[in-house]
Structure 1
Amino acid sequence: MPTPAEVLTTINRTDSAAPRVTCYDDLPGPTAGERVELSGRVLGTWVSKAANALQEEWDLEPGSVVRLALRPHWRLLYWAWAVWSVGAVVDLDGGAGADLVVTDDPERLPDDGPAVLVTRAALARRSDHDLPDGVMDEAADLSTFGDLFSPWAEPEDDDVALRLAGEETGYGELVALARAGATSPPGSRVQLVDPSAEALLRTALAVWADGGSLVVHLGQTDEATLDRRARTEGVTA
């Protein structure tokens, strides 16, 4: 089975201009009301920039562990794919021993060790928080990294790709397991309502592996709004 990085390469080779994720933010706060749509090409650019940062700033590679302390969001998707692009471990458990922490919550920054603070707003150019030494301001710094990415090393099938709920999933089975749990036909435009981080990642793996796309609603959204958006976005599953 392909790795997550190979899934992204395949959908971009097939149709890089097609939308792959459309994200509506219905959560209270400064990003409420945002609608962000990423084509495969734009998604790939975000992934490349983040993956280059992981390699060039922190020397991350297969076996390295990245704690993604991020709420469900389109930014979670490209950070997860960046980690998988360097062959490292996406850790959603939050245990000790991470080589890097990526979070959108200043309260979840580690007391020591490297970290990235992600600002969720689509047009943010810098964080509103004063950041300690060792913490990258993603909004200010990520754009400086390259748009093309080449990994220093490729993961083996038995290298750990995902750590979740005390269990570890290897690169050789990650996409296959996600596809096994899918219920939509290939090429579907799949709607997700207020998913967990796990559900967002697993659904993206399955849907993109089958050439489809996602429409994601963050927060509680009324049924009339969901129905209207589903018609507008061409949702099929």
Structure 2
Amino acid sequence: MPASDPTPADLLARALRRSPATPLVTYYDDAAGERVELSATTLANWVAKTANLLQEEFDVAPGRTVVVALPVHWQTAAVLLAVWSCGATVLDTAAEDEGGLEDADVVLAAQARLAPLEEQGVEDLLGLSLHPLGMGMSGYAGPARDFALEVRAHGDVFAPWSPPRPADPGLVAGGLELSLSGLVEAAGELADRLGIVEGDRLLVDTRAAAEAGPVAWLLAPLAAGASVVLVNAADLPGLARRAASERVTATLGQRVDGIRELGRDD
């Protein structure tokens, strides 16, 4: 990682250099019986394709704002890192209403959230099915473009037309605003405070992650050199077995006997 003014894109690049083939983001949805695992190489590929889509189709670049109306998910990780790779600002509405859209240059939203956005007349709108295999939306006939279908046509290597400017806004979420370099600084400080270390494998409950925000569930592990296991609708009786099979070393938002829980002193 560069010695001065790094941005979130640098954190992903460091993860790719450190361990390109080992799991970096694993996602479980226990309600749907889904499991998706991404190495650093695979995540970087998704990020590059998404960044190329945003840059080439929507002119996303430094100074632009992208609304991300998505739950905590592996595809959300790719979208966030892609926006930051373009040098743009993420307006995070994961746990909020659909406010602030007048400032957005493009909106990426889960399929279930498209209808109210369409009612507001949002034009540059990408819908995500959040399908475990990255397939497109089904049963949808509205005006939003289908992220899964659009992203496939874009390249596996991303080069920004205008390099990210570290001092530019990187995240606006509620009353919080952080620059691109401030995101990295906050992620490093949080990782230190929570005791996340290189090689950690973090089991993260998606409800806790949504409340904590992307600095906690995505960037802090990246900054520390850790990997994450995101669990939605966790099957509590099977959680200890899940933690053992995934070689989890710490948890956030769930307690598993014998494994340290981040954010707790007892």
**What's the offset of the Cα at 1:209?**
1.5
* Residue in structure 2 matched with residue 128 of structure 1 by the alignment: 138
Corresponding residue for 2:109? 103
- Matched with 1:163 is 172
Given candidates 226, 234, 238, the residue that maps to 1:212 is 226
Matched, 1:232 2:238: no
Q: Compute the displacement of 1:127 (Å).
A: 1.3
The within-5 A match list for 1:75-114 is 75-93=75-93, 94-96=99-101, 97-104=103-110, 105=112, 106-110=114-118, 111-114=121-124
Displacement, 1:163?
A: 0.3
Q: Which letter maps to 2:200? A: S
Deviation at 1:166, TM superposition (A): 2.4
In the alignment, the residues of structure 2 paired with residue 59 and residue 129 of structure 1 have an alpha-carbon distance, to the nearest angstrom, of 29
**Aligned position for 1:201:** 214
Calculate the TM-score normalised by the size of structure 1: 0.91
Name the aligned partner's letter for residue 10 of structure 2. E
TM-score in terms of structure 2 length: 0.82
The DSSP-based 3-state class of the residue aligned with 1:41 is helix
- Give the Å deviation of 1:63: 1.2
> Which digits, 9 at most, give the CA deviation of each residue in 1:151-204, with x for residues without a partner?
111222220000011221001211111221221222210110133436362222
Of 122, 140, 150 in structure 1, the residue corresponding to residue 149 of structure 2 is 140
Amino acid in structure 2 at the alignment position of 1:95: G
Say if 1:55 and 1:86, in contact at 8 Å, map to a contact too. yes
Distance 1:158 1:124 in 2: 33
- Runs (4 or more) in structure 1 with deviation over 4 Å come to none
* Partner SS, residue 146 of structure 1: coil
Query: SS of the counterpart of 2:245?
Result: helix
Q: Distance in 2 between matches of 1:160 and 1:124?
A: 29
What displacement does 1:221 show?
A: 2.9
Q: Considering only aligned residues, what root-mean-square deviation do their CA atoms show, in Å?
A: 1.6
> 5+ unaligned residues in a row in structure 2: which ranges?
94-98, 251-266
1:64: how far off?
0.5
CA distance in 1, matches of 2:130, 2:83: 19
Pairing partner for 1:8 from 12, 21, 27: 12
Q: Which amino acid aligns with 2:48?
A: S
Quote how far apart the aligned CAs of 1:220 are: 4.0
Distance change >3 Å, CA 72–CA 82, structure 1 → 2: same
Q: How far apart, CA to CA, are the structure 2 residues paired with 1:139 and 1:108?
A: 21
